[in-house]
Structure 1
Amino acid sequence: MSYFRVTLLRSAIGLPRRSTDVLKALGLKKRMGTVFHAVTPSVAGQIMKVKELVSVEEVDRRLTKQEVRLERKPDPGYYIEKSAAQERSEINAQ
């Protein structure tokens, strides 16, 4: 079974109530919030009503909140080769 991964990119502030109601029905509350819905014609119709505000991908499975958070986490930019404790133990062993 495949799923729609729907992410809210733009705020609904200042838009008609109909658009905000569709976002609520999809379960989108905050910007950059992500929800997963099974691929059905009714969900596809809701997404089409707010297509300017959301990003949609079709995925094979739902991701957990932790998996979504880890996807968004940036690369730290560095890697730890040895910890300070390992270096001390090597120095003391010599």
Structure 2
Amino acid sequence: MSATQFFKISLKRSTIGLAPDYRAAARTLGLHRSHQTVYRPADSTTAGLILKLKELVKVENVASIPTSVEINAARKAARGYQVVEKQGAFTKI
């Protein structure tokens, strides 16, 4: 298998109003809601489903599936604050 082993697939547009075969393809990939992301193995079956939904999905190649701890850490902002640059006193113009 190649260096990238998984597809990261995100549904960017809704399947509402599309033909049943497009909706079924999205369900087969595990995409149920807009902006939902799933990870699938990089094989020809998955690639065929992605090709069918190419206008609706965003696809990235990834080497591994991140754990839920890694996903949650990426979502959270850093704790506390940091002074980037100290500004002088305000002057009246």
- Compute the TM-score of the two structures, normalised by the length of structure 2: 0.73
> Equivalent of 2:46, from 28, 38, 43?
43
Matching residue of 2:8: 5
Gaps of 5+ in 2: 84-93
In structure 1, C-alpha distance between the alignment counterparts of 2:22 and 2:52, rounded to whole Å: 7
1:67 and 2:56 matched: no
Structure 1's consecutive aligned runs of 4 or more residues displaced over 2 angstroms after TM superposition are: 64-71, 73-76
Query: Partner of 1:37: helix, strand, or coil?
Result: strand
Alignment correspondent of 2:55: 52
Distance 1:32 1:67 in 2: 19
SS of structure 2 residue aligned to 1:13: coil
Q: Percent identity?
A: 33
Distance 1:16 1:58 in 2: 28
- Which residues of structure 1 form unaligned runs of 5+? 82-94
* Partners of 2:16 and 2:77 in 1: CA distance: 32
TM-score where L is the length of structure 1: 0.73
Q: Which structure shows the higher helix fraction?
A: 1
The alignment covers a number of residue pairs equal to 80
Matched to 2:32, the amino acid is K
Cα separation, 2, equivalents of 1:74 and 1:67: 10
